[in-house]
Structure 1
Amino acid sequence: MVPHGTHAWIERISEHELPALCSTIREIEKISKDDTSSLTRLGQAVLHDHALTTAILKVANSAGYMLHNPVTTVSRASVVLGLTRIKNICITAKMLNSLLKNRKLTPAVYERLLKLMAQSFHAGMIAKMMMRDYEEDVQEETFIAALLNRFGESAFWSMGGPVTVELDKQLRQKQAVRAEEVDFIVRQALGTTFENMSLGLASSWNMGNVLISSLEEPELRTPELRSVNLAVRLSATLANPTHSRNELEKELAEAAEITKRDTWDLLSGLEECSEATVELLRSYGAGVLTRYISHDLISPAANTEHPLAEEMSDQTLQLRILREMAFLPDEHADFNLIVQTALEGIHRGIRMRRTIVFLKSRERGCLMPRFISAPDFNQVKREFVVSLGGSANIFTHVLNSRQPVWVDNLNVPKWRAYLDSSLRQLVSSDGFFIAPIIWGKYCVGLFYADRNDPAGNACPRQLSEDDFMAFTLFAQQTNICLSVILKNTER
């Protein structure tokens, strides 16, 4: 049954659609209120989550935070950035992961969700820019309040299903653009509005006073709340390729009043906001949203031929990540960050479905999956364990030879002897790559990558020579970085 009314939708989203996100946000907010041990507890709460740890480090070291020295641990990031920033990074990273993970959304609903989330990030950065003369904690509070201002709407579209498809269809057919028109259609379909859903979730999940106040009492005229509400409107205006020049000028005049800055200074600040938003999204690994961030503030009509930015090519992404890896040793990166960065480069840059870093476990005499990017994460972690005892297999072969391997056909004679029946159940029948990870004199682990579909569907894109060359480059760059940091530790 389709829920009806605000309470019913809050219960549905909190308990059935996004229970993990609900629990995480409540826990983070609870920890942050304990002044004596909050930083320590927050660090411990996220360390087990490799993806969240990496997100914190990437965002902390991004241009948007302009740290004098890079940070390589969550503990150090917590001390340098402070509790409010770390809390917001955790919430943002978890929100992105939760809202974008539903692969069953229809193209139209998915497109609507992407545009909305891009607008939300842009709104957050605009609000932060408008409050730049205030303390950092105030800037962070306005950022997260603007970012989450339309969270109820994002949560609704992210759940997918017939109700989202039907509502999307109604909004498109009636060409609803104005807030009043959208509210009327949404209320008829859901028994509430997206704004009421956002307020209900913010209150139920304890998302912070600034956000709750901006939704509950938008008429309040404090600088923080005015900045949040105006930033949400500005991001929506800029996202509309046919926005009214008069509407933009009116909003800029209001921003000038709040910030005490002239219009041209604000235009420059908004353009910088667009660039900063793109960089922030990339830091979170949400590059898919960057195409919806508008850079054209003066003349929207001039951009009608190319309304969306081009998707970055695989080769460009590979080169950027490889270049980033080259600087990691000079930035005091540790083993985990280097390997995790390489894993992301393989996974995203080569478009592999499963990318795994295996490390030797002396106690168990096997290779254990330590870093995993895969849709079937839990199954891989639980089942994909490779014994180092007994007869030689393809994994021990690479450990001993220290050479990357591309197994393109499991049944050819040169590979058949290295793949027993148990291994064949774990690796991809469509082929896979393996490469060594070298630490000093020892081969301590392996990179593994394939395009295996857990559902058993045929591989949509076969592995190629270019893919293997890129995979090999990431493994080589990893080993170069590890050799450098090892030398640095021995000095």
Structure 2
Amino acid sequence: MKSSQKPGKKLDTQTWITAVSEQQLPILRATLHSFSAIVDDERSSTMRLTQAILQDAALTTRILRAANSSFYNPSGRTVSTVSRSLILLGTDLLKSIALSIAILDTVLCAELNERASQVSSRAFHAAVQARALAVVRGDPAPEEAFIAALLLPIGELAFWCFSDGLGLVADEALKQGMSLSQVEEEVIGCRFQRLTSELAREWKLNASLLEVLQDPQGRQPRIQSVRQGHEIALLAERHGWSSPETMKFSTDLATALHRDVEEVQKFLQENARAADELLRQHGFVGPDPGQGQAEIVEAREAAPVWLPADPALQLRILRELTQVFSDDSPLQMVLEMVMEGLFRGLGLDRVVFAVLSADKQVLQIRYVLDAGNPQADTGQKIPLRAGGELQAHLDRAACIWQKQVAPLAARDLGLLAGPSPANGYFLGPAIIRGKTIGAFYGDRQASGRALDEDSFEGFKLFVQQARLGLEHKQRPGRGG
């Protein structure tokens, strides 16, 4: 992204904030904003967050890799689907993983990637320290401290990523020996904390972050954890662990926590090692000097990635589905995992689950995964026409592979199919105790790829597993 700043000219803060926001870089603004909005909305279903993740195949892979890492998942329970990871790890933890990846991807966009890498590495160190301190203090939501600490330098990170000529001038001033505060005042014309405050407000970021920004010296335990996380990260970076400055911090913290000084020193250094491991688990080994900002932004804004069928993933998801049948996961988890199996496992472009109304006259779309349309809406209603193809399929109560779609049949499919699926579709009724309660739909219309026999067999198997899971969750006494 190119800003409107000229080399040497002080930052016009509002113009710069607007430029960053209006261009809506998918790595930074959209990810931070969308994940924050989804997770902070208590009414949101987990499927909404799952859908936001699954639209990006690379993000899905990296989130699942992180979700199976020792840092985020010390229990070692294998997770093959985003849907189940939300249940096992929780939405707050998944949000922190997604934001962590967004931060690291932003660094790869930076022209001044050395400065951006330094800021992001320090932010990760601070975030791990903040979460660990929050746990010690009995914070009921330590992941909030992690996210707030991770985002606290977002203004500085964004500056080094997107400031162009002015960033080069500021970088040179720091190399010539000017202090950071002098550079902020005399070169940039704005404090990094203000940039963070403006971005946090503009992008409606983490509430705990806003509290820290509004009252940085506050006595609230979470604010203290975030502030101290950044203090120790900066001290360790500038002075090392054996310096008088770092030792004094450790002593003061030990007094505040009523702990032994040596215990606190060991605790802080273990957190620092955990932060390094976290960066490695995220695959962050520093920016590639051979790949510039334009190439990475172009790659992230490229056409949709059409997922190939993955038989091994199909088997893993089917195996995990059987585990979900007997645990305390909600009925919705069965539906979401089946949807993800159809989408990622079978490599379908569009997958829909729709619920049949009580009077059997309407199908209402409940869940959608659509590689060709990330903004696909749910809640749309499809009237069932007596004698129509869709009604006939539901009446048969069996999975079908419709290989050719006549114009009239396409009209019957309505919003279920989106664009007319000229190259065919799969449809399978969802059944509980012999009654059809909805339907699963899938096609490869957007990519133009042909459906095949193996995919249809997989589709039938997932729909069958959905029926078994729904039956099991609806057994009397289970409260599903």
Q: TM-score, normalised by structure 2?
A: 0.57
SS of 1:136's equivalent in the other structure is coil
Greater Rg by CA? 2
On the 8 A contact 2:339/2:352 being kept in 1, the answer is yes
One of 394, 398, 401 as aligned partner of 1:403: 398
Question: Compared with structure 1, are the counterparts of its residues 441 and 373 closer, same or farther at alpha carbon in structure 2 (3 Å cutoff)?
Answer: same
Bigger drift between 116-125 and 340-349 goes to 116-125
One of 379, 382, 389 as aligned partner of 2:385: 389
Question: Compared with structure 1, are the counterparts of its residues 382 and 331 closer, same or farther at alpha carbon in structure 2 (3 Å cutoff)?
Answer: closer
Question: Compared with structure 1, are the counterparts of its residues 152 and 481 closer, same or farther at alpha carbon in structure 2 (3 Å cutoff)?
Answer: farther
On the 8 A contact 1:274/1:293 being kept in 2, the answer is no
What is the CA–CA distance in structure 2 between the aligned matches of 1:209 and 1:445, rounded to whole Å? 41
Question: Compared with structure 1, are the counterparts of its residues 50 and 28 closer, same or farther at alpha carbon in structure 2 (3 Å cutoff)?
Answer: closer
What is the CA–CA distance in structure 2 between the aligned matches of 1:192 and 1:203, rounded to whole Å? 16
Structure 1 residue 7 corresponds to structure 2 residue 14 = yes
SS of 1:201's equivalent in the other structure is helix
Question: Compared with structure 1, are the counterparts of its residues 136 and 90 closer, same or farther at alpha carbon in structure 2 (3 Å cutoff)?
Answer: same
Deviation at 1:369, TM superposition (A): 1.0
SS of 1:400's equivalent in the other structure is helix
Question: Compared with structure 1, are the counterparts of its residues 426 and 485 closer, same or farther at alpha carbon in structure 2 (3 Å cutoff)?
Answer: same
Q: Deviations over 1:388-433 (max 9, x none)?
A: 333241x3344233333334x42xxxx6598345548744334433
One of 440, 464, 479 as aligned partner of 1:447: 440
Aligned to 2:145: 142
Aligned to 1:487: 475
Aligned to 2:354: 358
One of 328, 331, 334 as aligned partner of 2:330: 334
What is the CA–CA distance in structure 2 between the aligned matches of 1:470 and 1:335, rounded to whole Å? 21
On the 8 A contact 2:410/2:420 being kept in 1, the answer is no
On the 8 A contact 2:38/2:49 being kept in 1, the answer is no
Q: Per chain length, whose mean CA-contact separation is higher, i.e. which structure has more relative contact order (CA < 8 Å, sep 6+)?
A: 2
Aligned to 1:284: none
Bigger drift between 174-183 and 432-441 goes to 174-183
CA RMSD of aligned residues (A): 6.1
Q: Deviations over 1:54-101 (max 9, x none)?
A: 99xx99x997699xxxxxxxxxx9xxx9xxx98x6798699799x79x
SS of 2:409's equivalent in the other structure is coil
On the 8 A contact 2:366/2:379 being kept in 1, the answer is no
SS of 1:343's equivalent in the other structure is helix
Name the amino acid aligned to 2:461.
L
What is the CA–CA distance in structure 2 between the aligned matches of 1:356 and 1:146, rounded to whole Å? 38
Q: Deviations over 1:109-133 (max 9, x none)?
A: 79x8999989967753442124432
Question: Compared with structure 1, are the counterparts of its residues 134 and 441 closer, same or farther at alpha carbon in structure 2 (3 Å cutoff)?
Answer: same
Aligned to 2:195: 197
Gaps of 5+ in 2: 6-10, 53-62, 76-85, 255-260, 286-308
Name the amino acid aligned to 2:12.
G
On the 8 A contact 1:328/1:338 being kept in 2, the answer is yes
Q: Give the fraction of aligned pairs with identical amino acids, expressed as a percent.
A: 20
Deviation at 1:52, TM superposition (A): 4.5
Aligned to 1:51: 48
Deviation at 1:339, TM superposition (A): 0.9
Aligned to 1:33: none
SS of 2:422's equivalent in the other structure is coil
Q: What aligned pairs does 1:95-134 form with structure 2 within 5 A after superposition?
A: 124-134=127-137
SS of 2:387's equivalent in the other structure is coil
Question: Compared with structure 1, are the counterparts of its residues 229 and 201 closer, same or farther at alpha carbon in structure 2 (3 Å cutoff)?
Answer: farther
Question: Compared with structure 1, are the counterparts of its residues 53 and 376 closer, same or farther at alpha carbon in structure 2 (3 Å cutoff)?
Answer: closer
Question: Compared with structure 1, are the counterparts of its residues 476 and 193 closer, same or farther at alpha carbon in structure 2 (3 Å cutoff)?
Answer: farther
Structure 1 residue 292 corresponds to structure 2 residue 280 = no
What is the CA–CA distance in structure 2 between the aligned matches of 1:319 and 1:186, rounded to whole Å? 55
Question: Compared with structure 1, are the counterparts of its residues 328 and 426 closer, same or farther at alpha carbon in structure 2 (3 Å cutoff)?
Answer: same
Aligned to 2:422: 429
Name the amino acid aligned to 2:16.
W
Question: Compared with structure 1, are the counterparts of its residues 116 and 322 closer, same or farther at alpha carbon in structure 2 (3 Å cutoff)?
Answer: farther
Name the amino acid aligned to 1:433.
F
Deviation at 1:206, TM superposition (A): 8.0
Aligned to 1:283: none
Question: Compared with structure 1, are the counterparts of its residues 253 and 49 closer, same or farther at alpha carbon in structure 2 (3 Å cutoff)?
Answer: same
Question: Compared with structure 1, are the counterparts of its residues 201 and 380 closer, same or farther at alpha carbon in structure 2 (3 Å cutoff)?
Answer: closer
Question: Compared with structure 1, are the counterparts of its residues 469 and 133 closer, same or farther at alpha carbon in structure 2 (3 Å cutoff)?
Answer: same
Q: Deviations over 1:286-332 (max 9, x none)?
A: xxx964368xxxxxxxxxxxxxxxxxx95554444434332323333
On the 8 A contact 1:214/1:225 being kept in 2, the answer is no
Name the amino acid aligned to 2:468.
I
On the 8 A contact 1:325/1:477 being kept in 2, the answer is yes
What is the CA–CA distance in structure 2 between the aligned matches of 1:348 and 1:202, rounded to whole Å? 34
Q: TM-score, normalised by structure 1?
A: 0.56
On the 8 A contact 2:47/2:367 being kept in 1, the answer is yes
On the 8 A contact 1:54/1:337 being kept in 2, the answer is no
Aligned to 2:302: none
What is the CA–CA distance in structure 2 between the aligned matches of 1:334 and 1:28, rounded to whole Å? 18
Aligned to 1:370: 366
Question: Compared with structure 1, are the counterparts of its residues 15 and 397 closer, same or farther at alpha carbon in structure 2 (3 Å cutoff)?
Answer: same
Name the amino acid aligned to 1:197.
L
On the 8 A contact 1:356/1:447 being kept in 2, the answer is yes
Deviation at 1:486, TM superposition (A): 1.9
Aligned to 1:473: 461
What is the CA–CA distance in structure 2 between the aligned matches of 1:183 and 1:10, rounded to whole Å? 20
Question: Compared with structure 1, are the counterparts of its residues 12 and 136 closer, same or farther at alpha carbon in structure 2 (3 Å cutoff)?
Answer: same
Deviation at 1:485, TM superposition (A): 1.4
Q: What aligned pairs does 1:207-286 form with structure 2 within 5 A after superposition?
A: 207-208=206-207, 213=212, 224-230=226-232, 258=253, 260=261, 261=263, 269=271
What is the CA–CA distance in structure 1 between the aligned matches of 2:246 and 2:424, rounded to whole Å? 56
On the 8 A contact 2:399/2:426 being kept in 1, the answer is yes
SS of 1:132's equivalent in the other structure is helix
Bigger drift between 112-121 and 339-348 goes to 112-121
On the 8 A contact 1:203/1:212 being kept in 2, the answer is no
Name the amino acid aligned to 1:226.
Q
On the 8 A contact 1:355/1:372 being kept in 2, the answer is yes
What is the CA–CA distance in structure 1 between the aligned matches of 2:335 and 2:48, rounded to whole Å? 13
